[in-house]
Chains A and B, each alone.
Chain A
Amino acid sequence: MVLKTEPFVLNIGPVHPSTHGVFRMRATLDGEVVIDIEPVFGYLHRGVEKLAEERTYTGVIPLTDRLDYLASMSNNLAYVLAVEKLAGISVPERAEHLRVILAELQRIASHLIAVGAFLNDCGAFFTPFLYMFREREKIVDLFEMVSGQRLLYNYMRVGGFNQDIPDEFLPALDKFVSQMPGFIDEYDRLLAENEILLARAKGVGILPKELAINISASGPVLRASGVKWDIRKADPYSIYDRFEFDIPTGVVGDCYDRYRVRIEEMRQSVRIIKQVMKQIPSGEVKSKVPYLIRPPVGEAYAHIEAPKGELGFYLVSDNSIAPYRCHIRAPSLLNLTALRDMIVGWKVADAIIIFGSIDITMGEVDR
């Protein structure tokens, strides 16, 4: 007896307890198996690129905060690097060191959320999520000491920083850095060999190496697929070439590899911060930059290794106080290109996990 079945369309809609932001997936299901999936986004499009053309170069910095709102320091850094490349401004040593510290702290904070949310999607009902947030609170407190803000920092400026770090920052950072590796180890022990997590995440949502390169994936997604490409090593910006760190890569490119790559990257970030802390020189934190920056006519593209991937800013200047064109190369948007290839053939439950393991932020995807 042949059962007549028909596929139905399930709208894993923009408002959902688990999609990271307002993201819609139109999934065609045959029972529980996903046979087609179409991502629809644009719900958070705010026209940041157009707005940037109407603000001064410094005025664009708060706009960049809101791109990947979970990693604001990195966005700021990418933008100010692009402006500095365009205008030929150099940055004092102290500011360079502080930039590296803040960027790596931001990487840890962003990966904590990524891993916590991934495990939450796996069903571990907020327990790992809340443990991650406990550590993230410490980082956010450090950032609050520095910039006064907990989420959207708006702290970096073209040429350095406007205000130096307060005195309490370095001792508090020291305390955090001494506790963090212990926490990552504890977390690893709790979850790395968990049978259910392995069953859910190993072999699920494989992104093969050639496909990862072809879709311009970057960040942990690319590295988990086996490609050893990290902008901090391949095209070092700021002063990253002075420090020693490894680049964790995965083998297969499944969800479990992406999870492990992120955990390892957190360890490497702590290592970098420890090295930088020994070497911070004293001095001023901002070089002499005019109040309204007018770069000469030209264009520049600067990219950094943001927690989500390669974040790039392409700036075109026509010697006025506002950028002529500011284009943002968003890593989350490009990492999403292979969503269909990764999800088709798996079940609804896996679709959510695979989507969570790519770790996107809608602020970046839609801009």
Chain B
Amino acid sequence: MTIANLGTNAAGHLATLPPDWPGGFWWHWLVFVVIIIAFVLLMAMGFIWIERRGMARMQARLGPNRVGPFGILQPVADAIKVLLKEDIVPAKGDKIVHWLAPVIAFFPVLMIFAVVPFQDGALLADLDVGILYVVAISSISTVGLFMAGWGSSNKYSLLGAMRDVASVVSYEIPVVLSLVGVVLIAGSLSLNQIVLAQDIPFILLQPLGFLLFFIGGCAEINRSPFDLFEADSEIVAGFHTEYSGMKFAMFYLAEYAEALVISAIIATLFLGGWRGPILPPWLWFVIKVIAVFFVLVWTRTTLPRVRIDQLMALAWKFLFPLALINLIITAIQVLTWPVALPWVIIPVNIAIMALLVLLWSKFFKLGWGRVAV
């Protein structure tokens, strides 16, 4: 679908990075591996700071403000503390599974960033199947969480892990379907191409898809209002109850790194990635990622938690049909209305989204009630 070219070609002012910049394949690989690891670790720490401080201010308290100016070095202090703690392994747990779980939970996050563009062409590998790769890899961390729950020989962990597996499997479907809508408009699975195709950010062209992806993403990464896998007030700490020391730090970091991944994917697919006027593109990317994360923190502070059967009901009865309908409508629009004026198509899409969401919420019952025993 080619939207009428509005004349702003943000990709033009900086040359497209060639795929083997700076000098050959292996240098490219090394530079980007360093950039990705540094980016993920620093941004995860920054996210921890944003979350603690932002949540605190919304709760009428101060948040960390002692370590460094405005408490910026608090995550560093946390990291040092956690490194110095004793590593407790439950005696009856499966030792290898217990040891391997944090690794498996964390490394997919780093792998996903291989295809996320920081600038035009500035990504580790411009795969033609970028989105498919992202979806496939992001499911691996669930295996890590389940291994954590199983290897801890603790009923709370097992409960948390079961909930996790059930809900991630359920939420994959609406998430993937909403991504397909974006792919249809952009015409390519590669993330860089999708950003290049966003003369108008896809959030306006695919409001329903954005909503579905946001909710589904929240549920997949175990954030409020869907943070039942580690619901503090119910199952102590869920799958990472029995972890301490560096392994716990890996889970903690993995949680924020996954939030980073979802924010980055949303920023890339729906908000226009690195595109923007005046500032350098990678700075726009970082700003958009932080903005999406701030909305995630906001919802965490405000909303209570849903129950597991309500979570599943939301996935299957609310998001899944809406995702299918979104896909069908997008496909119809791409086929029958290929050259459309933006100020026509955007209100139409937003109206469709509002209508569908209102209609569905009227007929939707959030979960079932008491089971006769």
- Residue A197 CB within 8 A of the other chain: yes
Question: Closest residue of chain A to B370, judged by CB?
Answer: A345
Residues of A within 8 A of B310 (CB): 199-200
* B232 cross-chain contacts in A, Cβ below 8 A: 17-18, 125
**How near does chain B come to A162, taking the closest CB pair, in angstroms?**
36
With known contacts A32-B159, A352-B234, A122–B304 Cβ distance under 8 A = yes
Stretch at the interface among B32-40, B204-212, B295-303: B295-303
Please give, as numbers and ranges, the residues of chain A lying within 8 Å of B155 by CB-CB distance: 8, 10
- A130 in contact with B224 given A123-B231, A200-B306 (CB within 8 Å): no
- Please judge, given known A-B contacts A131-B60, A196-B306, whether A125 and B370 are in contact too, CB under 8 Å: no
Q: Say yes or no: A345 contacts B371, CB within 8 Å.
A: yes
CB-contacts of A328-367 with B (<8 A): 344-350, 352
User: A-B contact count, CB below 8 Å?
Assistant: 96
In the assembled complex, which residues on chain B have CB atoms less than 8 Å from the CB atom of A120?
233
* Chain A positions within 8 Å of B228 at CB level: 123, 349
Question: CB distance B305 to A196 under 8 Å?
Answer: yes
Nearest chain B CB to A122 CB, angstrom units: 4
Identify A352's interface contact among B58, B233, B301, CB under 8 A: B233
Within the assembled complex, what's the spacing in Å between the Cα atoms of A348 and B306?
12
When distances are taken between beta carbons in the complex, the residues of chain A under 8 Å from B307 are: 199-200, 347, 349-350
* Bitwise interface map of B from 235 to 273 toward A, beta carbon under 8 Å scored 1, else 0: 110000000000000000000000000000000000000
The answer on a CB contact under 8 Å between B231 and A349 is yes
Question: Which chain B residues border A199 with CB–CB below 8 Å?
Answer: 306-307, 310, 366-367
- A8 to B153, alpha carbons, bound, how many Å? 13
Q: Is A126 an interface residue (CB 8 A)?
A: yes
Q: Closest Cβ of chain B: how far from A202's Cβ, in Å?
A: 10
- Shortest B359–chain A CB gap in Å is 16
Shortest beta-carbon distance, B108 to chain A, in Å? Answer: 26
B62 nearest CB across to chain A (Å): 12
What distance in Å separates the Cβ of B366 from its nearest Cβ neighbour in chain A?
4
The CB with the most chain A CB atoms within 10 A, among B304, B306, B307, is that of: B304
Q: Which of A123-140 contact B (CB under 8 A)?
A: 123-127, 130-131, 134
- CB-CB under 8 A from B156, the residues of chain A are 10
Does A35 lie at the interface of the complex (its beta carbon under 8 Å from any beta carbon of B)? yes
Interface digits, A1-44 against B, CB 8 Å rule (1 contact, 0 not)? 00000001010000011100000000000001101000000000
Question: CB-CB < 8 A to B234: which residues of A?
Answer: 18, 121, 348-349, 352
B172 at interface by CB-CB < 8 Å: no
The answer to whether the Cβ of A119 comes within 8 Å of any Cβ in the partner chain is yes
User: Is the Cβ of A346 less than 8 Å from the Cβ of B304?
Assistant: no
Q: Are A124 and B236 in contact (CB under 8 A)?
A: no
Q: Are B58 and A127 in contact (CB under 8 A)?
A: yes
Chain B residue contacts of A345, Cβ below 8 A: 370-373
Contact code string B141-161 (vs A, CB < 8 Å = 1, else 0): 000000000000001100100
Closest residue of chain B to A18 (Cβ to Cβ) is B233
Chain A nearest CB: distance from B312 CB in Å? 11
- Pick the residue among B59, B233, B300, B372 that contacts A130 (CB under 8 A): B59
Interface residues, chain B, CB within 8 Å of chain A? 55, 58-61, 155-156, 159, 163, 224-225, 227-228, 231-236, 300-310, 366-367, 369-373
Q: What are some 24 contacts across the A-B interface (CB < 8 A)?
A: A10-B156, A16-B236, A33-B371, A33-B373, A122-B304, A122-B305, A123-B227, A123-B228, A123-B304, A123-B305, A125-B224, A127-B302, A130-B60, A134-B60, A195-B366, A196-B225, A199-B306, A200-B305, A204-B369, A345-B372, A346-B370, A349-B228, A349-B231, A349-B234
Given contacts A35-B373, A349-B308, 9 further A-B contacts (CB under 8 A): A8-B155, A32-B308, A123-B228, A124-B303, A127-B302, A130-B60, A347-B308, A347-B309, A352-B234
B-contacting residues of A (Cβ < 8 Å)? 8, 10, 16-18, 32-33, 35, 119-127, 130-131, 134, 194-197, 199-200, 203-204, 344-350, 352
Closest 8 CB pairs of A and B: A123-B305, A18-B233, A124-B304, A199-B366, A122-B304, A345-B370, A130-B59, A123-B304
